[in-house]
Chain A
Amino acid sequence: MNMLEIEGLNVWFGTARDRVDAVKAASFSVAQGQSFGLVGESGSGKSTILRAITGLAPTWSGKITVAGQPVLAKRSKSFFKTVQMVFQDPYASLHPRHSVDQVLGETLYLHGFKDIDARVVKLLDDVGLGQKFRFRYPHQLSGGQRQRVAIARALAPEPTLLLLDEPTSALDVSVQAEILNLLVDLRQEHHLTYLMVSHDLSVVGHMCDSLAVMKDGEIVEIMDVAALRRMEATHPYAQHLLQASV
């Protein structure tokens, strides 16, 4: 079964003269349990696809299907239980005046969980932080620890599809290795499906099973990671991107 299906997705910003078509007729599908990568240069629309799925970019047309359910303009509560997103910059995506406990507790409360205390403890253990970080504020955490909190928050509603928007690009390579290992482990433990945006082809090669290459809002090529490793891209832009990243 396909966890996520996207058909003829268009996303635009602005109107008339200022209209920018950020995504043009994008189509792809991600099978249950798969990890799918979106690569391309900045402004190619890869993050916009994630934002359109979650509802952060409200002006879109086309068809988005998550776990067999078509996504409508008004997203249901169950949608947000199924789909969660981890953002690029852990320095910007956590509320500076909320402790880790508040961040996770509020998410759990909003999703109607009753055993919040036990779940906060479990979430922190799951992302390898442990209890002593529970009452800290974001400024008392390093970048890697913050990203772990952001991942814990995304895991709180027990989603099946995680949207990862450049989850390690703000981190050091040594910390990146830890977070990527964590994401690989979590995917196995929780049977998650990943849709990951990255500009780093080697990160996508490490994390994903297949990927789509985007340019100027269009998907120019979809290939699997084996082909990526063999450097077998057919579209000239994809070839150019492969060469530039080695």
Chain B
Amino acid sequence: MERLLDIENLWVKFPTRQGIFDAVRGVSFSLGRERLGIVGESGSGKSMTGRAILRLIRSPGMVEADHINLDGENILAKSEKDMRAVRGQRISMVMQDPKFSLNPVMTIGEQIIEAYRLHSKASKADAHAKSLEMLEAVSIRNPERVMRAYPHEMSGGMGQRIMIAMMLIPNPEILIADEPTSALDVSVQRQVLDIMDRLVKERGMGLIFISHDLNLVADFCDRVLIMYSGRIVEVCEADKLHEATHPYTRGLLNSLPRLDAPKDRLEVLRRDPAWSEAASVSGRV
């Protein structure tokens, strides 16, 4: 398979008063034109992995890797100025919380148009039309009104769809989606996933889908990396996630309530210190 992105031995470190904290510890994986899921609890390093790819981790945080290759080019060697041509245009990221990711003092329309015009030479009228089209594509019912509205007037679900519209409008090669649907309802979740799915297929995009929702990832992705305390503990095909063998993955699966299998008490995950000591599994193909 063609490798859009290839990461070898990625570390993310933060100096603290208690010494250096390793948020990501020696993770390797590659991404083709596929949907790659990264699952794990909060604090497992999955979001940090996503941010490290875009070099969004700021000093004093440190990113180290043997290489992060985007189409064969090591992006760690790029200057900050060259990175700006990568961010948004070649690799785009949908963040977790629309409340903190949208500008509260700009209307939605202005923000989407800005995102589009930054990377293309389109006229304002074209950008406006394109924005409307994109909002419709993420199934927003009344795009004209939404364009004039401010972020605080939107519900969480709408905010997230606006974010997705904004990130997809420059047509990137790789989309990193960090919990893109955790603020959405099940019915809307499906729609948003279908939109992302269509784009991955139609435009041949690579998708890194970061989520804590195991069932969703099993359902939606092609391949899954399971992370625990900064390392990959297991790699598996998404449709075989329910046959996963690592005790951590099993524990997560068992702690979910299920409609078809009611029980009085939910199982609580028992953590084994050996999990965080074991070497990281490679997710390269």
Residues of A bordering B, CB below 8 Å: 40-43, 143, 172-178, 180-181, 184, 199-203, 205-206, 228-229, 240-241, 244-246
Contacts and interface: CB of A to CB of B under 8 A. Distances in A.
Nearest to B39: A173
Main secondary structure of the interface of B (DSSP, over half): loop
Contact of A180 (B185, B188, B251, B257): B257
Contacts of A245: 186, 259
B259 A181 contact: no
Given A173-B252, A174-B269, A240-B187, 15 more contacts: A41-B157, A42-B156, A42-B184, A172-B41, A173-B213, A173-B214, A178-B268, A181-B265, A199-B185, A202-B259, A228-B259, A229-B259, A229-B262, A245-B186, A245-B259
Interface string B206-245: 0000001110000000000000000000000000000000
Interface residues of B, number: 31
A47 B267 CA distance: 28
Nearest to A143: B42
Given A172-B212, A178-B268, A181-B268, A202 B185 contact: no
Contacts of B258: 202, 205
- The 3 closest A-B CB pairs, nearest first, are A206-B257, A41-B185, A177-B255
Given A41-B187, A174-B268, A177-B269, A203 B257 contact: yes
B155 interface: yes
B184 A202 contact: no
Nearest to B183: A42
Given A173-B255, A205-B257, A181 B212 contact: no
27 contacts: A41-B186, A41-B187, A42-B185, A43-B157, A143-B42, A172-B212, A173-B252, A173-B256, A174-B251, A174-B252, A180-B257, A181-B265, A181-B268, A184-B265, A199-B185, A199-B186, A202-B256, A202-B257, A202-B259, A203-B257, A205-B258, A206-B257, A229-B260, A240-B187, A244-B189, A244-B190, A246-B259
